[in-house]
Copies of this chain bind each other. A is one copy, B any other.
Amino acid sequence: VARIEDLSTPCLLLRRQVLAANCARMATRMDGLGVALRPHMKTAKSAAVAALATRGQDRPITVSTLAEAAYFLDAGFDDITYAVGIIPQKLAAAAELQGRGARLTMITDNLEGVTALSEEAARLGASFDFLIEIDCGAGRAGLPPASPAVLELGRRLQDAPGLSLKGVLTHAGHSYGCRSSEEVVAVAEEERSGAVQAAEALRAAGLPAPVVSVGSTPTALHAARLHGVTEMRPGVYMLGDLDQMALGSCSLEEIAAGVLARVIGHNRQAGHLLIDAGGLALSKDLSANRFLDNVGYGRLCDRSFTPLTERLYLAEAHQEHGMVKAPGGAPPPFERYPLGSEVVVLPNHICMTAAAYDGYHVVNGAGEVEDFWPRATGW
């Protein structure tokens, strides 16, 4: 059996037991709230993780790229919502997936685009199911729930040859700006009520809206009720990260993934350690710094994911160099971290960090490397 110390660095570690507990907790919670779980696989991008998140079955999933859709289809997951606005240029790839057995659901919020989407569907001899994207307050994409454009888009989709209306979808991205559980509960209610309002407006106009899809990890974990919602699409809860910890969506102990790195230098003049995980190994995401001090590009733990007593963190990230400092400018204890010492870095944002790796080294509590799970990559 390989051990963590046998791995070359940097690499991505995944704690199987922690992952399994995170998946089970979310599934139980969705059962309790009476909605289907359609986990968003854009974070983990792994069929093995998807199997855990869907309780061992090839159940509904969400993806953020058609490359993910193809990967998961090959792994047996055929009920796939592609939760990024579709464009005509991507329909050929989507039709190819449907030809291989995928049941795809697309989203759009673009009135002007319906004609081009319908024409491309006709050219391909394909038909596509659509949800209307709703903006429940995040301000990224989607139509406002009360906008007349929701009905107009619904009519156009339903009338356009090759396109079918199946409901609405929203994502409470603004849950990532909340500072308290109470705020997340309020955002979750905005997410729920916005999606339900839009779906009810469609139904009142005689249009179909069987699907009411919502979800983000913070709102999935904090929503007080989900009346009218049919499915939730959280994703990052499976792995967790410092940003989710800062948001109250997980504890430190519930973070399942981290980057294994080694000490490659001591800069005694400048007062930092160097490790072989820098900007490429961790990403340049700084999200958790808006809530936490002494985070930088990540916090250092030992091989068992226990934070180092010196509270070391990655203060700067160059391409392959990570500069590790102690809080308050104290010099790191160089003698405790000789050249080659292993550390685990918990990243700010695991979606961004994990994307640099082609897979996970799956570890157990005893520090044994049990498996390697590939990840979907690219677009």
Contacts and interface: CB of A to CB of B under 8 A. Distances in A.
Interface of A: 8-11, 42, 64-65, 84-90, 93, 109-110, 112-113, 116, 133, 135, 139-142, 144, 173, 262-267, 269-270, 274, 276, 279-281, 283-286, 316, 318-321, 323, 338-340, 351-352, 355-358, 377-379
Closest 9 CB pairs of A and B: A113-B339, A85-B264, A284-B284, A87-B340, A85-B265, A64-B320, A284-B285, A139-B270, A141-B265
Contacts of A339: 85, 87-88, 110, 112-113, 116
Nearest to A318: B140
9 contacts: A10-B379, A11-B379, A87-B264, A87-B276, A110-B265, A110-B266, A113-B338, A280-B355, A356-B378
Contacts of A274: 85, 140-141
B11 A321 contact: no
- Which of A116, A135, A274 has the largest count of B CB atoms less than 10 A from its CB? A274
Contact of A89 (B89, B262, B352, B355): B262
Contact of A321 (B84, B112, B263, B378): B84
Contacts of A320: 42, 64-65, 84
A36 to B, nearest CB: 23
A42 to B, nearest CB: 6
A340 B116 contact: yes
Main secondary structure of the interface of A (DSSP, over half): loop
A140 B321 contact: yes
Given A64-B320, A112-B339, 11 more contacts: A8-B89, A88-B339, A89-B262, A110-B265, A141-B265, A141-B267, A141-B274, A283-B283, A319-B352, A355-B356, A358-B378
A317 to B, nearest CB: 10
A172 to B, nearest CB: 13
A171 to B, nearest CB: 10
Contacts of A116: 338-340
Contacts of A356: 355, 378
Nearest to A235: B319
Contacts of A9: 89, 379
A355 B87 CA distance: 25
A366 to B, nearest CB: 21
A194 to B, nearest CB: 13
Given A284-B283, A339-B87, A42 B319 contact: yes
A89 B6 CA distance: 9
Contacts of A144: 269
Contacts of A352: 279-280, 284, 319
A263 B90 CA distance: 12
Nearest to A64: B320
A148 to B, nearest CB: 13
A364 to B, nearest CB: 22
A109 B274 CA distance: 11
A75 B195 CA distance: 54
A120 B186 CA distance: 58
Contacts of A93: 8
